[in-house]
A = this chain, B = another copy of it.
Amino acid sequence: MITCRLYKEGVLKEEAFDPSRVSDLIEEPGARVWVDIADPSTDELAMIQEEFSLHPLAMEDTRNRNQRPKLEVFEGYFFLVLHALSLDEKDELRDGEVHAFAGHRFLITLRYPPVFDIGEVVKRCDRRTDLTQHGGGFLLYAVIDEVVDGYFAVIERFEDQGEEIEDRVFADQPDPDVQEDIFRLKRRVVTFRRLVIPLREVLDLVQEQPGFVTAELGPYYRDVADHVIRTLEFVDSIRDLLTSALEAQLSQVSNRLNVVMKQLTGWAAIILIPTLIAGIYGMNFKNMPELPWRYGYAYALGLMFVSMLLLYRAFKKRDWL
């Protein structure tokens, strides 16, 4: 799906026009064009290349997936890769790679797969159409900011999961799956970090492109860069805590083993002592005074019961049972 928008002097002039008209429209003074394509086909890419006279090398770049966030400078524009990240219903990380060609007068965004909601970006631009005069600089900011906002949702979900895991680690009932969940979460966090960390540097590079980030846009870019840093600081905290959680979990498991062993010891004693008593009165000595007693049997049972009770209390007191 193609989204086309033309701004002129801070006003939305046209939208949803045919992209093949771009080469004409962009020549008009003050024209600012944004073209967004979700999952672009080869034809669409070819058309884009022609309309914006993009360098073949630049096009080659956009044909490769799984790139790390980076910025590649071409004459008059640059190529930028970033990753829109979200969690699906199974909490697996969903990676929507965004490729952008950004020049002073235009922005092209290509999304594979189209994970993040371009509608939000459109709304944002329409709210501040005056800033569209700054051209690609503002449009790109709107996109990046939307992407980075998505990071916070992921981070929050990570934090929630982290807290839930903590509760399970320290719950009274042992939960044998918790270490797997810690590990799986850690893996998602590590992947997230790997896809976000180069963005910091990319944003510095964007701000260094001469004439692209105007003085008025500066605070916006610094703000989004600040958000990226904050995201990464959160990720590092979570990673650090997950490592500790794994260790605490191990300690917890060992603790529980202690409890089990104490119970084993306790119950073994409670059963074995009366077994010994029964064994004693099962001996075949001729002369065992208790045997002919009228209540000898009751006495023996009583002895067993009392010994069990005393042991039970003793272990209970030492908190072994």
Listed in ascending order, the chain A residues whose CB lies under 8 Å from chain B are 57, 61, 67-68, 70, 72, 74, 166, 169-170, 174, 176, 179-180, 182-183, 186-187, 190-191, 194, 197-198, 219, 222-223, 226, 229-230, 233-234, 236-237, 240-241, 243-265, 267-269, 271-276, 278-297, 300-301, 304
Contacts and interface: CB of A to CB of B under 8 A. Distances in A.
Given A250-B247, A278-B276, A170 B183 contact: yes
A222 B79 CA distance: 13
Contacts of A237: 190-191, 194
A255 B297 contact: no
A283 B282 contact: yes
A220 to B, nearest CB: 8
A70 B223 CA distance: 10
B253 A251 contact: yes
Contacts of A222: 72
Contacts of A191: 237
A104 B202 CA distance: 32
Nearest to A250: B251
Contact of A285 (B72, B219, B297): B297
Chain A contact surface mostly: helix
Contacts of A293: 285-287
Which of A74, A250, A269, A286 has most B Cβ within 10 Å?
A250
A246 B246 contact: no
Integer count of this chain's copies in the complex? 5
Given A61-B223, A194-B236, 19 more contacts: A67-B230, A68-B229, A169-B183, A198-B229, A249-B251, A257-B261, A264-B268, A265-B267, A271-B272, A271-B276, A275-B279, A278-B283, A282-B284, A284-B288, A285-B296, A286-B291, A286-B296, A287-B294, A287-B297
Nearest to A261: B260
Contacts of A166: 183
A283 B281 contact: yes
A70 B226 contact: yes
Which of A226, A264, A280, A293 has most B Cβ within 10 Å?
A280
B260 A265 contact: yes
Contact of A262 (B258, B260, B304): B260
Which of A57, A61, A233, A247 has most B Cβ within 10 Å?
A247
A251 to B, nearest CB: 4
A62 to B, nearest CB: 13
Contacts of A187: 241
